[in-house]
Structure 1
Amino acid sequence: MNKIFSDSSQIKTVSTFSELVHTNFKGEINALCWYRNLDGDFNEIVAKLSLEKNITEVYPEDLIALQLSEKGNIARQIILNDLQLLADFGASPALNLLKCYERDDEFDFISTDVYSFHVDRSPIATDTFLCTYHGAASDIIANSQAEQKILIPEIRTKLKELFDGSEEEFEDFLKENYFDLHYQMHANAEPMNLGLGHLWRLAVDHPKQQVLPCIHRAPIENEGEYRLLLIC
């Protein structure tokens, strides 16, 4: 087991998909990891897929159509099985081949793209599942090691300059523009990388959630390397 996982009070590791989906978040635990050392050649799959734009969704039939080596076929079966497990559970998984996400550079004092530490929000009880099979992997950070950007005085002041209305309307403005979902990590904070091959379940901000939502971010991609990511 990766030492950084076992040392974290935020993360609980499990050994089966059933444990992953049926273990409750509680206390500080808002990230569950089905820890796996996967066999198979995921690079071969990436090399044989076609990137149509910066993010291309890959469907099961696209995977099935690939001519692969034995190692490539092992990787394909792992991905197909993960997609089926999540679909049978009632989730809607997507497999993405991606070069990069769209950047938010509208303001120089706050970013709301996925490269910024953020939490996911949903009006219904749900969780975020993700697994990076190839390429750079996402990071998470303990809630105690980050601060909501809208609470940082200089950022809040600049946001207020963009808005002309009451304090109550200002709070709605922050939510409507997703500013409240983004976090600034503390100077001495230590993000944890989610690694390759592990299937993660992260807590989402929703009305029935019993724990703090998991703060996470997309990684800066490695030069010349695509990511292969399952997410839902």
Structure 2
Amino acid sequence: MDLPKNALKAALREGRVQIGIWSSFADPQVAELLAGCGYDWMMFDTEHSPFGAPEVIGLLRAVAPYPVTAVVRPGWNNPVEIKKLLDAGAQTLLIPYIQNTEEARAAVSTVTYPPKGIRGVAGITRATRYGTVADYAERANDEICLLLQVETREALDNLDEIASVEGVDGIFFGPADLAASLGHPGKASHPEVKEAILGGIRRLAAQGIPSGILSLDQAFLQEAKAAGALFIAVDVDSGLLRRAAVARRAEWA
């Protein structure tokens, strides 16, 4: 069996905009429904949702037949957690709260096999299609996409250095945490937050480094796209469900 191709990684390298959706439910049926909605990628968020690697396997299986790239966010830059997700078959990871080059290099090391990294070698896992992918250990990194999340003032100060670490495929801006770090908790659309993010996106675009963002502020997302953002999450499944439910109920007030 051949190593699965990572369409998101290829698209980012080619500079093509990829539109995504955030998934916070640990339900394979919800994941499968969303997988057929035309998004280029979808995020399974284990940082702010009560599920982990065992549930992620079911979600990855649910979306595998669809033309969408699954991205998984671990709870932290934790080698034990990340290694489990890799063995579960995740090929694209978004690592939260990266502050500096040391943490960026640690993330790269975790997703890389020795001698360059510390990923554990296991032959019979879902990632290797239970041992049927030829030369998996030698080829795995060709299709692994590592995205790092910048969401603090310190990380912004170190943006260029973090983005330049070999093995990093893209930088993701987290407006909510960045707003808190800049002194505007709960105000992700504050002008200072927006300008910080747009400035970061422009800096990375000038260097040919892919950047991404999640926001429910659609006008801001358009600004981010114009600034050069390539992987853009335009909504969250739980938010979509609640807004639709509230709107329908209001029709019958």
TM-score interval, normalised by the smaller of the two chains = under 0.3
TM-score with structure 2 setting the length = 0.26
| Structure possessing the higher relative contact order (Cα contacts under 8 Å, 6 or more residues apart) | 1
Normalized per residue, which structure has more strand? Answer: 1
TM-score with structure 1 setting the length = 0.27
Q: Which has the larger radius of gyration?
A: 1
